Structure 1
């Protein structure tokens, strides 16, 4: 095994170890609701704390994205359906996750959002971590926003209903919703599972989120609509 390969494996092992740490913090008040559509013509509403039926375990690429209302760190509500007509990116976020830290400081998340926001894309981070879990709490997320110079809101999903509705499994996990409200992409930010962009699968870095957004902007179907996300597990509340 080459020295570079050994270092990459070591970085991944250290990052995975860091994912398991929890930091107990006071729970801020939050509000969340999810509408998980079973078809384009019918939507079943899920209130905060209500588990989705098994048949609606998570959204499907190519079908309407589940609607939701979540509050940001300042208590302002954001409703997905109010953004219809715009392309929206949802980034599952945990400021304590080593992979999030790597991607925001060195990897693809360092500047992708800023570039896409200039192009008219709406970018929203979502933290589905439960109280007492790693990266939970208003202050921890505010510190993350400051550290990573994020110009977009972080929405709090303490119940985990929104994350579960979308099938979010990792931080980071990226979802792209097109201007018609359809889930067009779900998966990793890129093909470099170290989070730093330095060990891309196949040797060439591919930013899946940027590629999906470019396809949508050009009026093309998304060439790679789904990939396997990497990173820390989403710190959901125990059900």
Structure 2
């Protein structure tokens, strides 16, 4: 009986963190939600958005896959900004806000990495819930109309940059800017789970 009860409790816990992933073509949600950025200012996704769209990436400070993808993140963020596409990195690890993903830790990490874009606190994982994001890093690319055109990983080998065959996100950016249909609209995000509060 105790085993069944524990199993039921575990299932309820899993169900509580099951979200509908934002479908391709959907408008960007929660664009006006105010978040604390590493600059100390209150910012929104609409503030980060530029004339050709925005990339929203769910990230953090300590996930091994975030770290493995850090140079790739910096490279693609710089590329996006050069194409008038805004960049917002969002930290939704609300359950780790007292330690590894505290605001102070975020500021230090961003300084070490030389971030030139938004890196904001997603309080109570509100944006992650709205997007259906579950991993770090996890990318959502929106076009100039604010519609989702790509969701997934930066490329096809998050664990080993030397063995990347296809740069999914960059391909999606280039196709979007050329006015083409994005050929690969989704890919599997690989990384650490977002640490939501129970």
TM bucket, shorter chain: 0.7 to 0.9
Q: Tell me the residue number matched to 1:177.
A: 142
1:64 aligns with 2:27: yes
Q: Tell me the residue number matched to 2:83.
A: 119
1:120, distance to aligned residue in structure 2 (A)? 1.2
Q: Tell me the residue number matched to 1:103.
A: 69
Q: Measure the CA separation in 1 of the matches of 2:21 and 2:156.
A: 23
- Assess, with a 3 A threshold, how the Cα gap between structure 1 residues 84 and 145 changes in structure 2: closer, same or farther: closer
Q: Measure the CA separation in 1 of the matches of 2:28 and 2:64.
A: 28
Decide which of 118, 124, 127 is 1:153's aligned counterpart. Answer: 118
**Quick check: 1:193–1:199 contact (8 Å CA) kept in 2?**
no
Q: Tell me the residue number matched to 1:225.
A: 185
Report the number of matched residues: 178
- Assess, with a 3 A threshold, how the Cα gap between structure 1 residues 109 and 132 changes in structure 2: closer, same or farther: closer
- Assess, with a 3 A threshold, how the Cα gap between structure 1 residues 190 and 135 changes in structure 2: closer, same or farther: farther
Q: Measure the CA separation in 2 of the matches of 1:233 and 1:99.
A: 11
Q: Tell me the residue number matched to 1:215.
A: 175
**Quick check: 2:45–2:88 contact (8 Å CA) kept in 1?**
no
1:118, distance to aligned residue in structure 2 (A)? 1.5
**Quick check: 1:97–1:135 contact (8 Å CA) kept in 2?**
no
Q: Measure the CA separation in 2 of the matches of 1:148 and 1:159.
A: 25
Q: Measure the CA separation in 2 of the matches of 1:58 and 1:135.
A: 26
Unaligned runs of 5+ in 1: 1-53
Scaled by the length of structure 1, the TM-score of the pair is 0.68
Scaled by the length of structure 2, the TM-score of the pair is 0.81
1:75 aligns with 2:35: no
Structure in which a larger fraction of residues adopt helix: 2
